[in-house]
């Protein structure tokens, strides 16, 4: 059976006050092209369809258009679960009616885990749908006071599944959570505080494939049969080195898994560029790049700049973040000095220390003369001279 595994669409996402819906529309159209080429038996979406529990109207309309295209035009069934960003009730609305159209969607976790069985030419493949749920919900659902963490919850859920699972058939777990060993990025909302969100790999050993959502970087965890597809797009600058993709999974008649990756190219990438303001505005620097990309610009200039954002946007209109590297990178080192440490130094020494700590450059004689004169005038003023 050929499965396309995807997830973490986050439709309706806003990044640095910029609505990403049109970018998402483009990448989802690219995704549909892959479906047309690959001709899978099923699409599996592992949560976070939306970015908010109450998504904007345009986000709902976009998801409806994509699902309609896949289900009605391409006649490919969809299996989907809710993630931690989704509203379980909204995602699961009319789910029983939609099954007749080939949409198997589970919004709220149930004690009797939903099993969806699809058939290929060699027999059934069983998909077990485990939408995101806080440990307290799982504790109440299974009436087990020993459930305190996400790992506790997943252990109980998987144990419940195994009670009726036919190990002679091919079995796939569809879940949303943070499995130990996965690499995170800044755009993922923490599931809990203090490390209670981690889930152990061992729970998934008896499944032929485990399709995971939550982490935005495409990656395997432990083995090829336990994978995050990652998000379709970059949603933070911590993801700039990630190659966004969808995961093509083939499960043969014996349950062996073969994985292939199809990369996706967005209409606008997310990148970080560095240099002085003057340098970055030179045509030879940007002529072979997409100046429409979403950018974080790290300026290396010393001294004051007048309206740098306005100037940089004359060339790069989609700058989302501007930093002054020379002033920020060593701020922590300067802040390490305690009040007592500072009190033992005169104003000149403190300024010299501050300057070298921030810029990592020598406080030369010319600068020393200027500051000494400024401090002298300040002290005169304080004495009323």
For 278-309, the pLDDT digits (tens) are 999 999 999 999 999 999 999 999 888 999 99
Helix (H) or strand (E) holding 89: helix 88-91
Given CATH 3.60.21.10, say whether it is the number of domain 2-263.
Answer: yes
Report how far residue 346's alpha carbon sits from residue 343's, in angstroms, rounded to the nearest whole number.
8
Q: So what's the pLDDT on residue 374?
A: 83
Q: So what's the pLDDT on residue 384?
A: 61
Give yes or no for a contact between 48 and 8, defined as CB atoms under 8 angstroms apart: yes
Regarding beta strands 103-106 and 78-81, do their DSSP bridges make them parallel or antiparallel, or are they unpaired?
A: parallel
CA neighbours closer than 13 Å in the CB half-sphere of residue 79: 28
Q: 38: pLDDT confidence band, cut at 50, 70 and 90?
A: very high
Report how far residue 161's alpha carbon sits from residue 110's, in angstroms, rounded to the nearest whole number.
12
Read off the pLDDT of each residue in 359-381 and give the average, rounded to a whole number.
76
Q: So what's the pLDDT on residue 382?
A: 63
Read off the pLDDT of each residue in 180-187 and give the average, rounded to a whole number.
76
Q: So what's the pLDDT on residue 39?
A: 98
Q: What is the pTM of this model?
A: 0.82
CA angle (22 as vertex; 285, 60 as ends), nearest 5: 155
Report which listed range, 93-102, 229-238, 322-331, is most confident.
229-238
Q: 108: pLDDT confidence band, cut at 50, 70 and 90?
A: very high
Q: 343: pLDDT confidence band, cut at 50, 70 and 90?
A: very low
| Ranges of CATH 3.60.21.10 domains, the chain | 2-263
Strand, coil or helix: 249: strand
Report how far residue 127's alpha carbon sits from residue 233's, in angstroms, rounded to the nearest whole number.
26
* From 42-56, 156-170, 183-197, 258-272, the region with the lowest mean pLDDT: 183-197
**Which two three-digit tokens encode residue 133?**
């749920």
Q: So what's the pLDDT on residue 345?
A: 55
pLDDT value at 271 more than 80: yes
Report how far residue 181's alpha carbon sits from residue 199's, in angstroms, rounded to the nearest whole number.
9
For CA atoms 128, 70, 251, 234, give the dihedral sign: negative
Read off the pLDDT of each residue in 107-134 and give the average, rounded to a whole number.
96
Mean pLDDT of the chain: 89
CA angle (78 as vertex; 189, 165 as ends), nearest 5: 85
Q: Measuring CA to CA, which residue among 78, 11, 83, 79 is closest to residue 47? A: 83
Report how far residue 215's alpha carbon sits from residue 194's, in angstroms, rounded to the nearest whole number.
18
Q: So what's the pLDDT on residue 269?
A: 97
């Amino acid at each position: 059976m050929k499965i396309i595994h995807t997830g973490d669409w986050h439709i309706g996402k806003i990044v640095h006050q910029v609505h990403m819906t049109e970018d998402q529309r483009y990448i989802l159209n690219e995704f549909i092209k892959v479906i047309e080429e690959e001709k899978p038996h099923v699409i599996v979406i592992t949560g976070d369809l939306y970015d908010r529990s109450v998504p904007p109207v345009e986000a709902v309309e976009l998801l409806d258009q994509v699902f309609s295209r896949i289900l009605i035009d391409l006649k490919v069934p969809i299996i989907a679960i809710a993630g931690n960003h989704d509203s379980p009730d909204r995602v699961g609305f009319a789910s029983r009616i939609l099954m007749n159209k080939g949409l198997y969607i589970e919004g709220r976790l149930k004690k009797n885990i939903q099993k969806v069985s699809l058939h290929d030419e060699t027999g059934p493949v069983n998909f077990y749908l485990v939408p995101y749920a806080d440990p307290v919900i799982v504790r109440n659902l299974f009436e087990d006071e020993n459930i305190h963490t996400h790992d506790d919850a997943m252990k109980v859920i998987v144990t419940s599944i195994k009670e009726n699972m036919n190990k002679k058939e091919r079995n796939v777990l569809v879940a949303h959570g943070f499995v130990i060993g996965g690499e995170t990025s800044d755009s993922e909302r923490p599931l809990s505080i203090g490390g209670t969100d981690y889930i152990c790999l061992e729970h998934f050993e008896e499944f032929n494939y485990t399709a995971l959502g939550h982490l935005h970087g495409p990656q395997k965890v432990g083995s090829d049969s336990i994978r995050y597809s990652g998000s379709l797009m970059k949603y933070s600058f911590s993801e700039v080195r990630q190659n966004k993709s969808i995961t093509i999974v083939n499960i043969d008649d014996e349950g062996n898994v073969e994985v292939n990756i199809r990369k996706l190219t967005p209409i606008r990438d997310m990148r970080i560029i560095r240099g002085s303001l003057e340098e970055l505005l030179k045509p030879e620097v940007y002529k072979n790049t997409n100046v429409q990309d979403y950018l974080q610009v790290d300026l290396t200039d010393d001294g004051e700049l007048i309206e740098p954002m306005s100037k940089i946007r004359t060339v790069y209109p989609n700058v989302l973040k501007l930093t002054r590297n020379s002033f920020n990178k060593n701020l922590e080192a300067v802040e390490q000095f305690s009040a007592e440490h500072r009190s033992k130094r005169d104003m000149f020494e403190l300024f010299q220390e501050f300057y070298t700590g921030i810029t990592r450059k020598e406080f030369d004689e010319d600068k020393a003369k200027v500051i000494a004169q400024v401090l002298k005038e300040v002290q005169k003023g304080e004495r009323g001279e």
